[in-house]
Structure 1
Amino acid sequence: MWHAVIWLAAALVLASAEVLSGEFVLLMLGGGALAAGVGAVLGLDVVGSALVFVIASVLLVFAVRPPLRRRLDRATANAGALHSNALIGKTAVVVSRVDDHNGQVKIGGDLWTARPLEAGHTIEVGQTVIVMKISGATALVVPED
């Protein structure tokens, strides 16, 4: 029964360590350790628990992890692109003078670093602008006519 506690502790440690890696390998190994811990609680000896760990871990790493990674990668890629693209064409209000070196605008309640779309232009506080492009975390804007 002592090995059940070790397997369950290992499952907790591996699942917690997954937060640092983000690759889902440690989470899958944690799932294998959890399965081994449950097996130990149900009466498996150390060798049986180790066998359950290996089989469960291999199945999780090769059967569950790939679709999970694809789904996460797809969701992550879409989230950033959708948010940035949704801002193009929106109006914003200048809250800090916008020039080639600094400036801020408020877009839908969010504060963004801003630069004029065309170098050399200055846009004063209070003016309404249109977001033409997003470059990283900076909105490139033009004054609204």
Structure 2
Amino acid sequence: MLEWIVVNSWVFWLALFLILAIIEMMSLDLYFVMLSGGALAACFVALAGGEFWLQALVFCVVSLAMIFILRPIAIRHLRKGPPNQRTNVDRLLGQDALVLEPTSRMSGRAKIGGETWSARTDDDAPLDPGMYGTVVRISGATAFITARPNQAHAAGHGA
């Protein structure tokens, strides 16, 4: 059996290529596709009549080269987008927040982008219902907001 694998090693490398490609489709982390590229390169060496040790060496070298050279480039391109295009909660940073409940460092609620969020102030000035603030950061399901500059003075005296 081992002799058949060595003689027909291209089948082994092709099967490994397919298995790694399927795993990559499930994980989407760009490691297994790099390993499958190495297996495909080893398959070509096997079809060209290269020894099994050479096939294994090509697999290792090509896989490592792809992981350390090609993967960072691919990830950079995947994350690339228009600078003004933010996704998920990042798009809420800098947005207006309408305070719905009295909001302090401990508790509060605000409407941001049409959704109600638990909110906290990012400074010591509490915010009263009806005031507007600006989202400065998001932590979990909590938005941290600061009073707009023209309302900060009023918030300090309204307490």
User: TM-score range with shorter-chain normalisation?
Assistant: 0.5 to 0.7
Alignment of 1:131 with 2:134, yes or no, is yes
Is contact 2:92-2:135 (8 Å) kept?
no
The 2-side partners of 1:46 and 1:111 are apart by 65
Q: How does 1:1-145 map to 2 (within 5 A)?
A: 3-15=9-21, 16=23, 19=27, 22=29, 24-37=30-43, 40=46, 42=47, 44=49, 47=52, 49-68=55-74, 71=76, 75=80, 84=90, 87-88=93-94, 90-95=95-100, 97-119=102-124, 121-124=126-129, 127-131=130-134, 133-134=136-137, 136-137=139-140, 138-142=143-147, 145=151
CA radius of gyration, larger in: 2
Task: Pick 1 or 2: higher relative contact order, CA cutoff 8 A, min separation 6.
Answer: 1
RMSD: 4.3
Is contact 1:133-1:139 (8 Å) kept?
yes
**AA aligned opposite 1:131:** T
- Name the count of aligned residue pairs: 136
Identify unmatched segments of 5+ residues in structure 1. none
Percentage identity across paired residues of the two chains: 29
Could you list the runs of 4 or more consecutive aligned residues of structure 1 that deviate by over 6 angstroms after TM superposition? none
The 2-side partners of 1:39 and 1:8 are apart by 11
TM-score, structure 2 as length reference:
0.53
Identify unmatched segments of 5+ residues in structure 2. 152-159
